[in-house]
Structure formats: C-alpha cells, structure tokens
Chains A and B, each alone.
Chain A
Amino acid sequence: KNQVEQSPQSLIILEGKNCTLQCNYTVSPFSNLRWYKQDTGRGPVSLTIMTFSENTKSNGRYTATLDADTKQSSLHITASQLSDSASYICVVSDRGSTLGRLYFGRGTQLTVWP
C-alpha cells in the first residue's frame, strides 16, 4: 500500500534553532517528492520538489534531502524564525499511471517560540 509517514507529529523549538523533519514513504514506482508549508487556516505553499536523481535541494533556509534507496526524505530548517511556525507536509508522486498521482503525509506541526 502506498503511504507517506511523517515524524515527529509535532515539534516545538526556540527561535534561532535548527530542526529536521522526517518523511518515509512506500510509494512505488516513485516519481518525485515535494515539501509544502501550510500556515494555519491557509493553503499549502510549495517549498521544494525533488526527482529520483536529486539528493538535495535548498530554498533559502529550507534544505530537503532525498534517499530514494531507503525511501526517506528530510526537511532541515536553519536558524528558525517565528514565521516558520506551520505544518510541513511531505507529498510523494508515483509514475504508475499515465500522469501520476499524489500521496500526502499528515504533516509535522512546527511551533517556533521566541
């Protein structure tokens, strides 16, 4: 069964600290992996998209890594800010059908305290 599991479910850190969020997936055949940021009550916003051949991709203070062999990804946030408080969602696309479909994780709820 194609699934996307994220950990931890929630995380609290102090402003300025770094953190790493995890994503494990069983989606096969794998096509790409996306990280989205979703502020409370808002729609998700794309942070990174990685294909099978990409190991890492950065977007400002956000760096995503991908290990397609172990089917794991991480999102590292550097020097956290209060505005980083949000849910971070891992989304995996397969290439089993003609156009592919998306599998969503439940997200990690990050809270940054001053």
Chain B
Amino acid sequence: EADIYQTPRYLVIGTGKKITLECSQTMGHDKMYWYQQDPGMELHLIHYSYGVNSTEKGDLSSESTVSRIRTEHFPLTLESARPSHTSQYLCASSDHRGPSSGNTIYFGEGSWLTVV
C-alpha cells in the first residue's frame, strides 16, 4: 500500500485563480514527481525532485511551479489558472535509486483540475 497522498482530489476553479495541489508521502522517499495526464493519453512528466531544495522541469513544458522544502512534501502551484490547465495531475515518489534500478514508483490518487 502506497503512503502517498494528494489533495484536493477534485477542484473546479475560475480562470486567473491561483491554486496549489498538495502531495505528501510518508515513505521517506528522496525522489518525487509530478505527472500530467489527459483522458486516454499517456502520463507526461512535468516536474521532479531528487531531494530537499532540488527541483527540475520535466519533459512536458508546464506553467506550474513546484517546491521541495521538506522531504515528505512536494506541492505544485499554478499562479494563474487557464482552461488549458484542465487535466489530471498525478504525484509519485520513489526511493533514492533511479528508474533504471527497477525500483517501485508509487503514485498518489491524482488531482482532477477543471478550470472554467
């Protein structure tokens, strides 16, 4: 059972609003990730972190920003939401080894964001 939590699960907000999606894990994992997934499409990496004070942009360009002040916490923020940001956002974490090690990557339940 994965101990990684996302809030809110569902959110509908107006254009121009600022929102923060929360992600926390209690497994002591160094690595954390944010993916964006549209219905029926593959996951796209938008941000990742290898540890405290480490954040990098992923493969898919995103107007969101992230921070990693504590090991267990990796929030994602949109300063000014637009309808094009409507999507599912999935947070994930893994131990210090990279994906090539075959380590398990644990996903949260996801946050469905709708911008109207």
Contacts and interface: CB of A to CB of B under 8 A. Distances in A.
A26 interface: no
Contacts, number: 65
Contact of A51 (B2, B40, B97, B102): B102
B45 interface: yes
Interface residues of A, number: 28
Contact of A93 (B44, B45, B99, B107): B99
Interface stretch (A14-22, A38-46, A60-68, A74-82): A38-46
Contact of B109 (A42, A100, A109): A42
Nearest to A94: B100
Contacts of B110: 41-43
Interface residues of B, number: 24
B60 to A, nearest CB: 11
A31 B99 contact: yes
Interface in A33-59: 34, 36, 41-46, 49, 51
Contacts of A93: 99-100, 102
Contacts of B6: 43
Contact of B107 (A44, A94, A98, A107): A44
Nearest to B6: A43
A99 B41 contact: no
6 contacts: A31-B99, A32-B99, A32-B100, A45-B107, A94-B100, A99-B98
Interface of A: 4, 31-32, 34, 36, 41-46, 49, 51, 89, 93-95, 97-102, 104-107, 109
